[in-house]
Amino acid sequence: MKLRGLLTLALAAQVVVTAAVFLTSDLVTGTAEFGTAQLIALLASAAVAVLLAHLCTRTIETWQQERTAEQLAEQAQASAQMMQAVIKTALDAFIQIDESGAVLEWSFQAEALTGWTRQEALGADVVDLVVAEPLRAAFRQRMARLVPELSDTPAGMRFEVTLVHRNGERILAEAAGTVSRIGERSIINTFVRDITQKRAAEEQLIQSQKMEAVGQLTGGIAHEFNNMLTVITGTIEILADAVKDNPPLATITKLISEAADRGAALTSSLLSFARKQALQPAEIDVNELIEELAKLLLATFDKKIEIATKLDRAVWLAYADRGQLSSALLNLAINARDAMLDGGRLTLTTCNVVFGVREALAVGAGYAGDYVGIAIADTGTGIPQAILERIFDPFFSTKEIGKGTGLGLSMVFGFVKQSGGGIKVASEEGRGTIFTIYLPKAETSTLRPTGYDDRKIVGGKETILCVEDDREVRHYVTVQLEGLGYKVIPAADATEALAIVAEGTPFDLLFTDIVMAGSMNGRELAEQMVAARPSLRVLFTSGYAYDSLHAQGRATMGAPLLRKPYRKAELARLLRRCLDTAVDSAGDAIPTPYSVQADVEAFLRRQAAEDNGKTRSRK
């Protein structure tokens, strides 16, 4: 609009000037003919037109320059506003500095990351703000090399750096930096992301994978060892019975039996670490358990060690194996005692914890959700950082030879992971150690199976199909079963067992190992047999107790498991448990009518005892 008005004004001025010149020439000459005066008037008009055109051009150029400057200023302002919006909404902290390290820009996220406010940071040296004092000189040298490197890399660079929060806490950060030049100045723009928890989670994952690999190897060794112990513990019972009238030989057999039991306990520890130990999880009042443990520790630990408890009275019920949890806590308490030879304080704490995905991953828990935390803290010597990552490795121990097997913490780790929980350890040399166990919150009650009377061994006359791929174990089991009165049909693998079934050979119970060589394991064999004969009784056995139970299909769900190594009494008891349970043609258990006979007999015995006591007192 301004340009159009200017041109209109110039044309109007030209018309007015031309008309005035011609009118003046007519008045001077007194004639309307074209002559010298009119030529002069025309030249004057042209001169005025040229002058007006020049003035218009200058005015237009000036206006265009001003307009361009305004547009550039508007664009710069819009760009600056957009940049501020990006910085404010970015998840990462933004820090802008010059070549000397002076802070030019400090975003809100940078305040949250470092603890320094924008007012405090602007103009300050960034190195003094976020770098530990011993590292500042080296960091400044690194910055001096970084500016040329960034200048030669238009796309910028990513690098990791360790920063320090205002409160002294160390932060592992990932930085992405670029350099822009404003005149002779170099401006360094950096986005910074806190990756401390991410790195901790990665290290936890690597450690878990390593422990998983070691656990697989350990579990395999323990499984084979259990097969050998099954033969040893079983045959030693036969020998003990044969030499019971010969005291010297009876003593030797007792020593062998005790050694076999220690071997069984060792393999149980290995399987616990490998997370292949069968558990019996149930609802646990951890406060009650801790109080019982505290009483035990007060009675057994040196009086120089103070035992304290900090129990959350609103703590949830945990879902885990009570016996295994007791062993794990006792193991941690003993380690704490050994770290406080000159006395100290042992504190047992319980609390409720709600984990998000990141927190659950950081402690190795199975999933995000509700957990019950149990912490055991001591004021002992602490664990050196150099070996902190190895403390859960099997057979790793810092104790003197003969004072530890190196399996204690491995068992704790295996139990916690198998229970679906997590474990965290924090330690500082000279100040003490804190082990924290996280167990899943109990949701529903779990019924515990009713045990059999183990004071007597009862056999039977039924026929048992025994499937075991280890020749020595198969021979031992056959002898034991026949000794209990059963008829035995041995089979070396699933294929041979199916062939026996195909021949129509009758039998009452399938007793099978689960982990077997060949194309079909014991679980799959039982599934196939039960599918064709639902009323078939099944008894599993395995050294891989955990995997065996959790791998069962629907058809064999609930079939008992006999863990290797086992004694004759355990074998006899579980066989009768399977065979004495009434089932219908579909394989479902037939409910047994409730009887009060046992309660009546117990009541009569108490009454008789009380009567006898009264009679004696009268005499």
Q: Classify residue 252: in a domain, yes or no.
A: no
Please check whether residues 372 and 487 belong to one and the same domain. Answer: no
The answer on pLDDT for 411 being more than 70 is yes
Q: Is 115 left (phi over 0), alpha (psi -120 to 50) or beta?
A: left
Give the pLDDT confidence score for residue 489 in this predicted structure.
Answer: 94
User: What's the CA gap between 485 and 458, in Å, rounded?
Assistant: 9
- Considering the domain architecture, whether residues 294 and 436 belong to the same structural domain is answered as yes
Pair 308, 407 in one domain: yes
Q: Are residues 419 and 303 in the same domain?
A: yes
* 264 inside domain: no
Q: Specify which residues 345 forms β-bridges with.
A: 306
- Residues 422 and 506 occupy one common structural domain: no
Torsion from C-alpha of 196, 197, 202, 207, nearest 10 degrees = 100
Is 217 contained in some domain?
no
Q: What is the mean pLDDT of residues 15-29?
A: 62
Q: Where are the alpha helices (DSSP H) in 404-464?
A: 408-418
- Judged by average pLDDT, the poorest of 253-267, 522-536, 595-609 is 595-609
pLDDT of the residue at 611? 61
Tokens standing for 336?
């704490």
Residue range 440-461: mean pLDDT, rounded = 57
pLDDT for 550: 43
The percentage of the chain sitting over the pLDDT mark of 90, rounded to a whole number, equals 9
Comparing 342-351, 352-361, 514-523, which segment has the lowest mean pLDDT?
352-361
Tell me which residue range forms the domain holding 140: 90-194
Same domain, 362 and 502: no
pLDDT band of residue 455 (cuts 50, 70, 90) is very low
Higher pLDDT, 474 or 327: 474
* Reported confidence tier of residue 275, pLDDT bands at 50, 70, 90: very low
Label residue 148 exposed, middle or buried (CB < 10 Å: 0-12, 13-18, 19+).
exposed
The pLDDT assigned to 49 comes to 65
pLDDT of residue 408: 59
Instruction: Find the range with the poorest average confidence among 33-37, 59-63, 290-294, 394-398.
Output: 394-398
Q: Is residue 519 one of the residues assigned to a domain?
A: yes
Q: pLDDT value at position 467?
A: 93
Instruction: Work out the number of other CB atoms within 10 angstroms of the CB of residue 245.
Output: 7
Pairing of strands 369-378, 318-320: unpaired
Q: What is the mean pLDDT of residues 596-611?
A: 56
Given this model, what pLDDT does residue 346 score?
A: 92
The mean per-residue pLDDT over the stretch 247-265 comes to: 77
**Cβ 484 vs Cβ 457: under 8 Å:** yes
What is the CATH classification number for the domain harbouring 555?
A: 3.40.50.2300
- Do 430 and 327 share a structural domain? yes
Among 158, 179, 194, residue at a domain's last position: 194
Q: Band of the pLDDT at 381, cuts 50, 70, 90?
A: confident
- Higher pLDDT pick, 372 / 3: 372
- The string of pLDDT tens digits covering residues 31-44 is 555 556 556 656 66
Separation of alpha carbons 550 and 548, rounded Å: 6
Domain-located, residue 259: no
Q: Are 59 and 99 contained in the same domain?
A: no
| Residue 137 vs residue 220, higher pLDDT | 137
Question: If you average pLDDT over every residue of the chain, what do you get?
Answer: 75
Question: Does any domain span residue 114?
Answer: yes
Q: Tell me: do 359 and 508 sit in the same domain.
A: no
76 shares its domain with 106: no
What is the pLDDT at residue 451?
Answer: 41
Segment 91-130, tens digit of pLDDT:
788 888 888 888 888 888 888 888 889 888 888 888 888 8
For residue 537, being part of any structural domain is answered with yes
Query: Which domain-ending residue is among 40, 55, 86?
Result: 86
Tell me which of 361 and 340 has the higher pLDDT. Answer: 340
CATH code of the domain containing 109: 3.30.450.20
Q: Is residue 273 part of a domain?
A: no
178 pLDDT higher than 70: yes
**Residue 468: is its pLDDT beyond 80?**
yes
Note the pLDDT of residue 596. Answer: 43
What integer pLDDT is reported at residue 587 of this predicted model?
Answer: 45
Whether residues 394 and 410 share a domain: the answer is yes
Q: Quick check: 404 pLDDT over 60?
A: no
Q: Which of 125-129, 187-191, 320-324, 421-425 has the lowest mean pLDDT?
A: 320-324
Burial class (CB in 10 A: 0-12, 13-18, 19+), 363: buried
The number of domains in the chain is 4
**pLDDT at position 554, please?**
45
Between these two residues, 245 and 594, which has the higher pLDDT value? Answer: 245
Out of 44, 68, 86, a domain closes at: 86
pLDDT-derived band of residue 490, with 50, 70 and 90 as boundaries?
very high
H or E stretch including 447? none
Q: Which residues contact 566 (CB under 8 A, 6 or more apart)?
A: 230, 233, 234, 541
Confidence of residue 436 (pLDDT cuts 50, 70, 90): very high
**Same domain, yes or no, for 435 and 473?**
no
